[in-house]
C-alpha cells in the first residue's frame, strides 16, 4: 500500500508536489509560532472599535470623568451636536444605542469606563472645524477662585451667562473657546445679564452635582448689594412672597407676585424668601431718596430680588424690566447706565474637599463711582 502511495505521488505533476511541500512548510512554521501570534495571523482584517462618530460605521465611546453620572440622553445630545433630539430618542428607543452591549433607557446614568455604542450618524454638522481660541481672554482678570474642580469669576454686567435668542455667545461659550482642552465646564447657577458679581462654574461633573445639591439644600450663603428707589427704614426685614413665571407675547420671560392663590389654577407659584439689611440711605437733591441694601438669598428664584423689591415699592435703580422707567432715563444723565445689582459674596463648602470658601467680588468701578457721587451730594 505504501509503495502504491509513493508511486501515485511520483506520478503527480511537479507543480502539485511543490504546492504540497510549501503548505507543509507553512504548517510547520505556524506550529512553532506563539498562540497569540497564530490567532492574529488567522484574522488578518481584524479592526479596533471606532471612536469617531460617522455615517459609515457605529462608534464606541468610553465614558470619561467629564461625562460620569450624566444621563445617557443628555450625553448623546451633547455628543451629537446638531442632531435633533427626536432622532436621539428614536435611536434610544430602537435599541441602536447600547451601553456595555446592553439596551438602556433614556434616563440611564453613565459610569466611568462605560462603553457607549452610537449607531452610524450623519456627520455633516458634527465635523465642523473647531474655532481657534481667541488671542486674548475676556475673563482672565475676572477669576476669583480656581482649582481642578471649579472656576469662579467676577462676571461683568452686560454679559449673558449663555447664548440664546439674539445672543450668539455667552460667558460659558466664551470660556469653552478660551479653554479648548477642558473636558468639562458647566454653569453651576445663573446671573441676569445686567447683574455683575460672583458666578460659579464646575470643571468636574462630580463637583457640579455636589454644588447643585448644596444649593437645593440651602447650604450656600449668597449676598447681593442693591440700590433701590425710596427710603428703606427697617434695619432688617425678611420678605416671603410667592412668585410665578409667565411669557410676554414676544416670548420674553417675566415674573410676578401671586397675591391670590385661587387664581393660580395650575399650581405654578414658587415660594421665595430673602433677608434684607439696610446699609445706607441717600438723598439726592434731583434724583430723590435711595437706599443701599444687602440682600441675603434664602431661595434662588428667577428675578427674585427684582420682583420682590418692585412689589414692595422699592424698585432697583436701572432695572429695565421691573423698575421706574422714567427714573432710569434720568439716572443715565447722572452716570448710572446699568442696573445696580451686584452679587458681592458667596459662602459655600468646596464640592470635593468640603473646605469653607468665601468668594468675594468688590463693587464694580461704575457702581462705586455712582455711590461716591451720591455721598458728595449729601
Per-residue model confidence as pLDDT tens digits over 256-277: 999 888 777 668 899 999 999 9
Of the two residues 46 and 341, the one the predictor is more confident about is 341
Please tell me the distance from the alpha carbon of residue 78 to that of residue 137, in angstroms, as a whole number.
25
CATH 3.40.640.10 fits 59-118, yes or no: no
Mean pLDDT comparison of 46-60, 130-144, 260-274, 298-312, highest-scoring range: 298-312
Beta carbons within 8 Å of 357's beta carbon, 6+ residues apart: 145, 346, 347, 348, 349, 350
Question: Which pLDDT does position 4 carry in this prediction?
Answer: 53
Does the pLDDT at position 325 exceed 90?
yes
140-211: CATH, from 3.30.2350.10, 2.40.440.10, 3.40.50.2000, 3.30.56.10? 3.30.2350.10
CATH 3.30.2350.10 fits 218-377, yes or no: yes
Please tell me the distance from the alpha carbon of residue 140 to that of residue 287, in angstroms, as a whole number.
37
Q: Which ranges in the chain are annotated with CATH 3.30.2350.10?
A: 140-211, 218-377
Question: Which pLDDT does position 187 carry in this prediction?
Answer: 96
Active site residues: 192
Beta carbons within 8 Å of 202's beta carbon, 6+ residues apart: 149, 150, 151, 184, 185, 186, 188, 208, 211, 351
Kindly report the pTM of this predicted structure: 0.73
Q: Which ranges in the chain are annotated with CATH 3.10.290.10?
A: 59-118
192, 329 in Cβ contact below 8 A?
A: no
Please tell me the distance from the alpha carbon of residue 240 to that of residue 298, in angstroms, as a whole number.
10
Cα radius of gyration (the chain): 33
Among 27-41, 206-220, 230-244, 341-355, the range scoring the smallest mean pLDDT is 27-41
Share of the chain above pLDDT 70, in %: 81
Task: Of 164, 156, 163, 162, give the one whose Cα is nearest residue 138.
Answer: 156
Question: Which pLDDT does position 81 carry in this prediction?
Answer: 82
Amino acid at each position: 500500500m505504501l509503495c502504491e502511495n509513493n508511486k501515485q505521488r511520483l506520478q503527480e505533476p511537479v507543480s502539485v508536489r511543490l504546492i504540497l511541500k510549501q503548505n507543509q512548510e507553512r504548517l510547520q512554521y505556524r506550529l512553532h509560532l506563539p498562540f497569540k501570534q497564530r490567532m492574529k495571523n488567522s484574522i488578518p482584517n481584524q479592526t479596533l472599535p471606532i471612536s469617531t462618530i460617522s455615517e459609515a460605521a457605529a462608534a464606541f465611546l468610553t465614558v470619561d470623568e467629564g461625562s460620569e453620572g450624566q444621563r445617557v440622553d443628555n450625553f448623546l445630545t451633547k455628543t451629537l451636536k446638531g442632531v435633533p433630539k427626536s432622532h436621539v430618542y428614536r435611536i434610544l428607543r430602537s435599541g441602536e444605542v447600547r451601553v456595555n452591549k446592553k439596551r438602556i433607557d433614556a434616563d440611564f446614568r453613565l459610569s466611568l469606563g462605560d462603553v457607549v455604542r452610537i449607531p452610524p450618524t450623519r456627520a455633516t454638522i458634527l465635523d465642523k472645524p473647531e474655532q481657534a481660541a481667541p488671542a486674548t481672554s475676556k475673563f482672565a482678570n475676572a477669576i476669583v477662585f480656581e482649582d481642578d474642580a471649579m472656576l469662579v469669576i467676577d462676571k461683568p454686567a452686560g454679559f449673558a451667562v449663555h447664548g440664546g435668542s439674539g445672543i450668539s455667545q455667552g460667558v460659558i461659550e466664551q470660556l469653552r473657546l478660551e479653554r479648548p482642552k477642558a473636558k468639562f465646564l458647566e454653569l453651576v447657577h445663573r446671573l441676569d445679564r445686567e447683574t455683575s458679581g460672583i458666578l460659579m462654574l464646575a470643571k468636574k461633573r462630580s463637583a457640579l452635582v455636589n454644588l447643585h445639591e448644596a444649593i437645593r439644600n440651602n447650604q450656600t450663603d449668597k449676598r447681593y448689594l442693591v440700590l433701590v428707589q425710596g427710603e428703606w427704614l427697617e434695619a432688617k426685614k425678611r420678605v416671603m412672597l410667592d412668585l410665578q413665571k409667565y411669557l410676554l407675547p414676544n416670548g420674553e420671560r417675566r415674573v410676578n407676585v401671586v397675591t391670590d392663590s385661587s387664581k393660580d389654577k395650575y399650581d405654578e407659584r414658587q415660594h421665595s424668601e430673602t433677608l434684607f439689611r439696610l446699609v445706607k440711605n441717600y438723598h439726592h437733591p434731583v434724583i430723590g431718596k435711595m437706599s443701599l441694601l444687602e440682600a441675603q438669598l434664602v431661595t434662588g428664584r428667577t428675578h427674585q430680588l427684582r420682583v420682590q423689591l418692585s412689589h414692595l415699592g422699592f424698585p432697583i435703580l436701572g432695572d429695565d424690566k421691573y423698575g421706574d422707567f422714567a427714573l432710569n432715563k434720568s439716572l443715565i444723565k447722572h452716570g448710572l447706565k446699568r442696573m445696580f445689582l451686584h452679587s458681592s459674596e458667596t459662602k459655600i463648602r468646596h464640592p470635593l474637599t468640603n473646605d469653607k470658601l468665601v468668594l468675594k467680588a468688590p463693587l464694580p468701578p461704575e457702581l462705586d463711582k455712582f455711590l461716591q457721587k451720591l455721598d458728595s451730594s449729601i
